[in-house]
């Protein structure tokens, strides 16, 4: 059994009961995968590692002529298949088992993973799959929680997560996550209001992230809080760790990038060497 089976099972409880399986907006998706340009993806094969309910793929499939595949270990693959119909190939598999996936599907022009590596027992194995499943000359991309900028989450939310992920998902979602969503929602709205009155770049916790999420409704805030509390495993990854990953011999050194996103995450990626 996969080391990440329990994590996949609990995240499936989140995705299978989300208020909208296509929970993100097109703007969120394109910002997440930037610096990729969606127009450059036309005619290419694209793989998502850890696709959840298919929420990101749902927006990408609206771009014509992209061959899309999603992989997830949990039962949320059924939710993804219902959302995406037959337009996207959804496979239930352990994303860290790149040899099996490679034998089943081959390599892809582009491979990405959003918000997944930091929930794996061994994040580097997920990163290795990202590299191994991308074609020579192809592109890979990832987003993870950052250690930098997340001190308040690590100090106050992490102890609660350790307890909350062990209780039934419905109790976690509606008895713990729901009440916590109220101050989270109003704090995000307060940050947005402060910016409107000219208070930009305030040195208060998660200010940039709050500006990003403040445009969404209360249900999305609730989804995010529950998503934070439902998992058995969370790593907050330092930039120096990503820099070590990107020294992988298959990666073209001149292609790599690392970008600090919303003050609490890292986007990074590059291109695989032509062999």
Res 62: pLDDT: 86
Can you give the pTM of this predicted structure? 0.96
Res 172: pLDDT: 97
Question: Pick from 223, 217, 207: which is nearest to 264 by CA?
Answer: 207
Domain ranges of the chain: 5-146+235-271, 166-230
The rounded Cα 220 to chain-centroid distance in angstroms is 15
Question: Pick from 219, 160, 221: which is nearest to 190 by CA?
Answer: 221
Query: What token pair was written down for 161?
Result: 């997560």
Distance CA 91, CA 68 (A): 11
- The answer to whether 262 and 148 are in contact (CB under 8 A) is no
Q: Is 239 helix (H, G, I), strand (E, B) or coil?
A: helix
pLDDT tens per residue, range 31-77: 999 999 998 999 999 999 999 999 999 999 988 789 999 999 999 99
Query: What token pair was written down for 271?
Result: 């291109």
pLDDT tens per residue, range 179-195: 999 999 999 999 999 99
Higher-pLDDT residue of 65, 7: 7
CATH architecture of 5-146+235-271: 3-Layer(aba) Sandwich (3.40)
- The answer to whether 144 and 237 are in contact (CB under 8 A) is yes
Residue 204 has a CB neighbour count (10 Å cut-off) of 12
Distance CA 111, CA 38 (A): 13
Burial of 240 (0-12, 13-18, 19+ CB in 10 A): exposed
Query: What token pair was written down for 125?
Result: 């194995």
Res 130: pLDDT: 98
Q: What is the largest CA-CA distance in the chain?
A: 56
Query: What token pair was written down for 62?
Result: 């609206």
Burial of 241 (0-12, 13-18, 19+ CB in 10 A): middle
Rg (CA), the chain: 18
Distance CA 222, CA 264 (A): 19
pLDDT tens per residue, range 19-34: 999 999 999 999 999 9
* Average pLDDT of the chain to the nearest whole number: 96
pLDDT tens per residue, range 73-97: 999 999 999 999 888 999 999 999 9
Res 87: pLDDT: 86
Res 63: pLDDT: 84
Q: Which H or E run includes 71? A: strand 67-72
């Amino acid at each position: 059994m996969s080391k990440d089976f329990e994590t996949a099972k609990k995240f499936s409880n989140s995705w299978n009961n989300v208020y909208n399986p296509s929970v993100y907006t097109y703007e969120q998706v394109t910002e997440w995968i930037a610096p990729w340009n969606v127009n450059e993806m036309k005619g290419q094969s694209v793989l998502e590692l850890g696709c959840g309910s298919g929420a990101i793929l749902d927006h990408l499939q609206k771009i014509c002529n992209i061959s899309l595949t999603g992989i997830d270990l949990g039962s949320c693959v059924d939710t993804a298949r219902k959302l995406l119909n037959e337009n996207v190939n959804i496979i239930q598999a352990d994303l860290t088992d790149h040899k099996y996936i490679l034998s089943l599907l081959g390599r892809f022009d582009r491979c990405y993973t959003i918000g997944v590596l930091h929930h794996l027992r061994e994040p580097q194995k997920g990163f290795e799959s990202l590299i191994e499943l991308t074609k020579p000359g192809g592109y890979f991309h990832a987003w993870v929680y950052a250690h930098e900028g997340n001190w308040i989450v690590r100090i106050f939310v992490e102890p609660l997560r350790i307890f909350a992920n062990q209780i039934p998902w419905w109790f976690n979602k509606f008895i713990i996550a729901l009440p916590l969503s109220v101050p989270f929602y109003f704090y995000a709205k307060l940050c947005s209001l402060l910016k409107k009155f000219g208070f930009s770049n305030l040195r208060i916790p998660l200010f940039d992230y709050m500006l990003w999420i403040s445009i969404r409704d209360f249900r999305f805030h609730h989804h995010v809080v529950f998503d934070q509390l439902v998992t058995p495993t969370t790593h907050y990854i330092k930039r120096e760790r990503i820099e070590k990953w990107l020294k992988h011999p298959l990666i073209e050194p001149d292609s790599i990038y690392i970008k600090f996103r919303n003050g609490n995450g890292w986007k990074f990626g590059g291109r695989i060497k032509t062999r």
